[in-house]
Amino acid sequence: MEKRTNSLVPFAGWGQSDKALGPVDHLLQAVGDKVVRATEDLLGEEIDGRLARIAQHTNEVGFDPFGFDPATARYVLALGAFLHRFYFRTSVYGIEHVPQGRALFIANHSGQVPLDGVIVGTALMLDAEPPRFPRSMVEKWSASLPFFSTLFPRCGQVVGSPENARRLLQNDEALVVFPEGSRGISKTFDRRYQLSEFGLGFMRLALETNTPIVPVAVIGAEEQYPSVANLGALAKFLQAPAIPVLPQLLFGMFAPLPTKYRLYFGEPLSFQGDPDDDDAVIEEKVWVVKATIQSMLNRGLKERKSVFF
């Protein structure tokens, strides 16, 4: 195969000495370089081309106001592309429904680790036309985690506060929100594809900013790390949302199972009303979104012939 000349460039920091590199840089250097080298011959040109088409509001040192670093994003997108195209072999449906301008992508959440967010974001970058670079609203407790508290902002992910979300939508950004939060990601296997309670904040935000909501159904993540129980007392002691019991780890299987992901993007939903309405009024609108996603999940599961194919 002919070698491409526009291969992915290293992330910011590779010109520094090893002593100047932080733990995020070291891990990206060790893992990211291998992923990029394995991926770029097949997808490097596509990744570079699509990154070049998104709006980047970076300052003189290469970061945007939320800490987004385009150079680091290249490595993360390469990893996401590998997972999306080759490992999970994602099938994407309804991508033509993705609107331009501001949008809230509301999805079910599962899988013990947020790989579903990686796959949704990668699909919006690689499969939507034009490509959309989504921001994910991450849990506030993630800002206290070593490594991830640095990595998430570099990838464009933002701590989920109303102020942050409002600023991004006012800039016509795309946001991915998982209203189930940690309740969804830590579900046990017997509750797979049963939506947990949705928070109300995303609906108040949509009403305030006049933003369309795109429902997204993710199928495949529930089986990547099947959990048989949660150690609630230990999780509370460690101030973690959950401590899942994962049988596959007992057999030394640390990688997620190679389930086949299926993403379903629904038609945008528009809502009118006062964002300061009582919870009961907002809950009725949230119920519409939740019921739409559950219906999409049910249809997708009915059409699915196998977890892995």
Q: Is residue 293 part of a domain?
A: yes
Q: Which residue has the tokens 């596509």?
A: 46
The full 3-state SS of the chain, as one line of letters, equals CCCCCCCCCCCCCCCCCHHHCCHHHHHHHHHHHHHHHHHHHHHHHHHHHHHCCCCCCCCCCCCCCCCCCHHHHHHHHHHHHHHHHHHCCCEEECHHHCCCCCEEEEECCCCCCCHHHHHHHHHHHHCCCCCCCEEEEECHHHHHCCCHHHHHHHCCCEECCHHHHHHHHHCCCEEEECCCCHHHHCCCHHHCCCCCCCCCHHHHHHHHHCCCEEEEEEECHHHCCCCCEECHHHHHHHCCCCCEECHHHHCCCCCCCCCCCEEEECCCECCCCCCCCCHHHHHHHHHHHHHHHHHHHHHHHHHCCCCCC
- Using the Cα atoms of residue 148, residue 153, residue 156 and residue 158 in order, give the sign of their dihedral: positive
Q: Is residue 210 part of a domain?
A: yes
Q: Is residue 74 part of a domain?
A: no
Mean per-residue pLDDT, 293-308:
97
CATH number reported for the structural domain that contains residue 123 in this entry: 3.40.1130.10
Q: What is the pLDDT of residue 236?
A: 80
Range of the domain at 226: 90-303
Q: What is the share, in percent, of the chain residues with pLDDT greater than 90?
A: 47
**CA–CA gap between residue 283 and residue 33 (Å, rounded):** 46
Q: Which residue has the tokens 């928070």?
A: 199
Q: Is residue 97 part of a domain?
A: yes
Mean per-residue pLDDT, 95-124:
94
Phi, psi of 149 (to 5 degrees): -65, -25
pLDDT in tens, 17-34: 343 445 555 555 555 566
Q: Is residue 151 part of a domain?
A: yes
**CA–CA gap between residue 228 and residue 168 (Å, rounded):** 38
**Among 4-8, 21-25, 163-167, the least confident range:** 4-8
Q: Is residue 278 part of a domain?
A: yes
Mean per-residue pLDDT, 58-68:
69
Q: How far is residue 16 from each of residues 20, 36, 50, 76, measured CA to CA in Å?
A: 6, 20, 27, 20
Q: What is the dihedral of CA 56, 59, 62, 66, to 10 degrees?
A: -70
C-alpha distance across the termini of the chain, in Å: 29
Phi, psi of 219 (to 5 degrees): -120, 130
Q: pTM of the prediction?
A: 0.83
**CA–CA gap between residue 44 and residue 9 (Å, rounded):** 10
Q: How far is residue 249 from each of residues 27, 147, 177, 255, 268, measured CA to CA in Å?
A: 22, 22, 29, 9, 39
More confident residue, 240 or 274: 274
Q: Is residue 40 part of a domain?
A: no
Q: Which of 36-45, 64-73, 113-122, 294-303: highest mean pLDDT?
A: 294-303
When pLDDT is cut at 50, 70 and 90, the band that residue 162 belongs to is confident
Q: Is residue 287 part of a domain?
A: yes
**Among 42-56, 58-72, 161-175, the least confident range:** 58-72
Structural domains counted in the chain: 1
